[in-house]
Amino acid sequence: MVSPGNVSRRTFSAGMAALGAAGALGRPAVAQGAALKVGLMLPFSGTYAALGDSIATAFELYLAEKGGKLGGRGVQVIRLDDESDPSKAVQNVNRLLSRDKADVLVGTVHSGVVMAMVQASRERGVPLIIPNAGNVAATRDLCAPTVFRTSFTNWQPAYGMGRALAAQGVKRAAWVSWDYAAGNEAAEGFRDGLKSGGAELVKTLLLPFPETNFQPILAQLAGLDIEAAGAFFAGGGAVQFVRDYASAGLAARIPLSGSGFLTEGTLRAQGAAAEGVRTALHYGDGLDNARNAAFRAAFKDRAKREADVYAVQGYDAGQLLAAGLEATKGDVDADKVLVAAMEKARIDSPRGAFTLSQSHNPVQNIYLREAKGGENVVIGVAAPLLADPGTGCKMAAT
Amino acid sequence: MTGLLAQALNGVQYGLLLFLISSGLTLIFGVMGVINLAHGSLFMVGAYIAYAVVTATGSLWVALPCAVVGGIVVGAALERVLFRRFYKRDHLDQVLLTFALILLFEEARSMLLGNDFHSVATPAALAVSVPMLGGFSYSAYRLAVLVACLLVAAAMFLVIERTRVGSAIRAAAEKPEMVDLLGLDASRIHMLVFAVGTALAMLAGALAAPLQSVYPNMGDGFLIISFVVVVVGGVGSVAGAFWGALLIGLVDTMAKAYLPFASGLAVYAIMAAVLLWRPTGLFARA
């Protein structure tokens, strides 16, 4: 359908693009070939709008820090709202690639939507950087030379949590989540993490997505012979689950833990019920490094609010793209050089430095956090430099 | 065994909440013959009223009457302005109307209160946990909701079985021509039933808000399960809605606890069985 050569992408008026870049960034840009077009396909409306805004703002923050240029080439950012709607995903990707002539794709939050982006990247060879969606397939069965991720797989945080529990001496634990891909992938991580420390996942309790009547599950947990429970919920479900868990009187006897999303951006709504809940994630509050402090200050200055894990992922998407473009002097058509440089990159992230695994997913610290006074305070490292197993990834030559 | 009792309590509590929603649905369906798909949205509106009022005043005790009064006003207005033009039209037109209402309610909610999820605080007096069997606690609020639902159910039985208005409603549901023969004003009965049905849905939403959290499209799941209750109990029968809701609440809870692989299916299997065995529902008067 579309020729692999990128001639058409290049025909865009150089002057227009330079103007666009200059206008967007408020500084004179020297036209050096057409500006590179980065399509930011993210949710800017709906449930995940706040996440999309964090990612986009942080990506643009990094660009601004680099004077609007990566690898010496001006960059023009095109934002597209994907509404987290999988049924519009293919159409939206096509709009960015065909109408807007995007050279690089960055997105998105929703696991279903990202699959259309992965497919487009595989078919057309357009570089894709995933700044959030954690479905394992993108860096396992469906991995590809041009598909990169700066966030996590659903498996990673849950593995860290399981491992941390086992390290505390827990022998038997249960897992609770919705019965959907992300929940099941996290359940596998939790099980593997427990097993790595000699502990056992004795029961997995699932309920249909997005059901929030947790009572039957909680009554069942109460009857199990376990020392800890892990959970994967997000958003409204996470708020409800943590509150119901506390009011069911289980928290004292069976401490609640989970993937970091259980308490991410939800602590205010969860209130006292979340106090003491331990979670594992690749980021947290109070991470003590200079890079993080500088990033948080710069983000707050730009966005007028505190940075979150999504902002970190968006910022690192910018850093990863920069690493590739520096090697090619801003040329995205030098596929092999670009991919090789991105694969080898060491990203100096606010979360702590990370590299990429062979399947292009971060090899990163998974931190153990505890909810205290409305913050997810980092209290240790649950799994140092953890790589997703990348099972089933057969990377074809570029 | 204690686990089973705890699950039974969960099932009864869930079932009683379903009763509040489906009793309005079954009455509106029974008396006016309207399939009100927007009933779930009214539940959502009730929950958002609770959220807005609790945010403004800090008290659910203010929010509950607001939801009931709001329900009566909204229900009466909807009946007067829209629904009464649709009683004589076929079900497809009614479905289009009520589906449009779903979209309107969701859009209004989005514009007024945004798309975020919110949680509503339980009243401080009821924020304590009551230890139950099997190392499992129940929040006092959850028990209070259970009692409140029972009280509403009892009040409905009294009104419907013992009062003149109730017998008129029963007549309208079972033998519509009787209403005219008895010289009653059918149009007033319609507005009354619609207002009460709406108020019940919005009260259910407000009561559920602290239990359920408040989020866009939260009524969808309840709408579908309420239709199951209405079909199982028998269209137009409040007693049917009561026992049907308890049955569905218990089946759904037990399936989630003991047959998780079939939990999405169990209630529909019950509905199919009832339709085969008693196509008019368990409590329909043939």
CB contact (8 A) between residue A222 and residue B115? no
What pLDDT score was predicted for residue B134? 65
Give the pLDDT confidence score for residue B107 in this predicted structure. 93
Task: Please compute the mean of the pLDDT values over residues A316-322 and round it to a whole number.
Answer: 97
Of the given ranges (A51-55, A172-176, A180-184), which has the lowest mean pLDDT?
A180-184
Query: pLDDT tens across A3-39, in order?
Result: 444 434 433 334 334 444 444 443 333 344 789 999 9
- Return the pLDDT at B217: 82
* Mean pLDDT estimate for chain A: 89
Of B10, B214, B264, nearest to A219 by CB-CB distance is: B10
What's the alpha-carbon Rg for chain A, to the nearest Å? Answer: 21
Same domain, A58 and A132: yes
The pLDDT of residue A355: 97
The answer to whether position A397 is within a domain reads: no
B133: pLDDT strictly greater than 80: no
Categorize the per-residue pLDDT at B193 as very low, low, confident or very high, splitting at 50, 70 and 90.
very high
Q: Are residue A85 and residue A207 in the same domain, yes or no?
A: no
Q: List the one residue out of A339, A394, A386 whose CA is nearest residue A366.
A: A386
Mark whether A259 and A115 lie in a shared domain. no
pLDDT at A49 over 60: yes
Sort out which chain A residues have CB atoms less than 8 A from B2's CB and list them: 223
Which residues, numbered 22 to 41 in chain A, qualify as contacts with chain B under a Cβ-Cβ cut-off of 8 Å? none
Residues of A in contact with B213 (CB under 8 A): 212, 236, 239-240, 243, 269
Chain B residues within 8 A of A45 when measuring between CB atoms: 115
Closest CA to A260 of A287, A221, A234: A234
Q: Could you say which DSSP state residue B118 is in?
A: B
Do the beta carbons of residue B35 and residue B94 sit within 8 Å?
yes
A2 found inside a domain = no
Tens of pLDDT, residue by residue over B218-269, are 888 899 999 999 999 998 889 999 999 999 999 999 998 888 778 788 999 9
Q: Mean pLDDT for chain B?
A: 90
Distances in Å between the Cα of B59 and the Cα atoms of A63, B62, B118, B126 are 47, 6, 16, 12
Choose between B186 and A123: higher pLDDT.
A123
Distance between CA atoms of B83 and A159, rounded to whole angstroms? 55
Q: Quick one: pLDDT band at residue B1, thresholds 50, 70, 90?
A: low
What number is the average pLDDT over the span B76-96?
A: 93
Largest CA distance in chain B: 59
Nearest CA in chain A to B216: A47
User: Are residues A60 and A195 part of one domain?
Assistant: no
Q: Are residues A144 and A55 in the same domain?
A: yes
The number of distinct structural domains making up chain A is: 2
d(CA B247, CA B270): 9
Instruction: Determine how many CB atoms are found less than 10 A away from the CB of residue B177.
Output: 10
Is some CB atom of chain B closer than 8 A to the CB atom of A250?
Answer: yes
Contacts of B136 in chain A (CB under 8 A): 218-219, 222-223, 248-250
Whether the pLDDT of residue A74 is over 90: the answer is yes
For A321-333, the pLDDT digits (tens) are 999 999 999 998 8
The widest CA-to-CA distance across chain A, in whole angstroms, is 69
Q: At B113, give phi and psi (nearest 5°).
A: -125, 5
pLDDT at A300: 96
Please, what is the angle between helix B2-32 and helix A215-222, to 10°? 170
Residues A216 and A297 in one domain: no
Alpha helices in chain A (DSSP H): 7-10, 14-25, 49-65, 89-94, 111-124, 155-167, 181-196, 215-222, 235-247, 267-270, 290-303, 309-328, 335-344
Buried b (16+ CB within 10 A) or exposed e, B6-38: bbebbbbbbbbbbbbbbbbbbbbbbbbbbbbbb
- Picking from B1, B2, B4, B10 by the largest number of A CB atoms within 10 A of its own CB, the best residue to mutate is B10
Average pLDDT over residues A149-178: 96
pLDDT, mean of residues B200-221: 90
CA distance B224 to chain A (A): 13
Tokens representing B135? 């190392």
C-beta atoms of B131 and A249 within 8 A: yes
Tell me how far apart the alpha carbons of residues A249 and A239 are, in angstroms, rounded to a whole number. 16
Confidence (pLDDT) at A396: 55
Sign of the C-alpha dihedral, residues A77, A78, A82, A86? Answer: negative
The tens digit of pLDDT for each residue in A336-395 reads 999 999 999 999 999 999 999 999 999 999 999 999 999 999 999 999 999 999 999 988
* Under 8 Å between Cβ of B43 and B103: no
* Structure letter (DSSP) for residue A95: I
Residues A29 and A95 in one domain: yes
pLDDT of residue B154: 96
Backbone angles phi, psi at A79, to 5 degrees: -90, 135
Structure tokens at A82: 């994907």
Q: Is it the case that residue B146 has pLDDT exceeding 90?
A: yes
| C-alpha–C-alpha distance, residues A306 and A259, integer Å | 21
- Residue A218 pLDDT level (bands cut at 50, 70, 90): very high
pLDDT for residue B128: 84
Burial of B155 (0-12, 13-18, 19+ CB in 10 A): exposed
Residues A218 and A335 placed together within one structural domain of the fold = no
Q: Do the Cβ atoms of A207 and B256 come within 8 Å?
A: yes
What are the chain B neighbours of A209 within 8 Å (beta carbons)? none
Using an 8 Å Cβ cutoff, are B274 and B230 in contact? no
Residue A1 lies in a domain: no
Q: What residue numbers bound the domain in which A16 lies?
A: 7-152+288-360
On chain B, the residues whose CB falls within 8 A of the CB of A248 are 129, 136-139
ipTM: 0.78
Rounded distance between C-alpha atoms, residue B85 and residue B76, angstroms: 14
Q: CA–CA separation, A343 vs A345, rounded Å? A: 6
Is A92 found in the same domain as A160? Answer: no
Q: Are residues A114 and A40 in the same domain?
A: yes
CATH of the domain at A74: 3.40.50.2300
**Surface of A (130-189) touching B: CB under 8 A:** 179
One domain for residues A148 and A168:
no
pLDDT, residue B285, reads: 61
* Inter-chain residue contact B142 with A247, CB threshold 8 Å: yes
- The pLDDT of B167-187, averaged and rounded, is 81
CB proximity A13 to B under 8 Å: no
Q: Please report whether residue A23 resides in a domain.
A: yes
Q: Could you read off the pLDDT of A119-155 as tens digits, one per residue?
A: 999 999 999 999 999 999 999 999 999 999 999 999 9
Q: Which of A45, A47, A219 sits opposite B7 (nearest CB)?
A: A219
Domain ranges for chain B: 19-218
Rg, C-alpha atoms of chain B: 19
pLDDT above 60 for A2: no
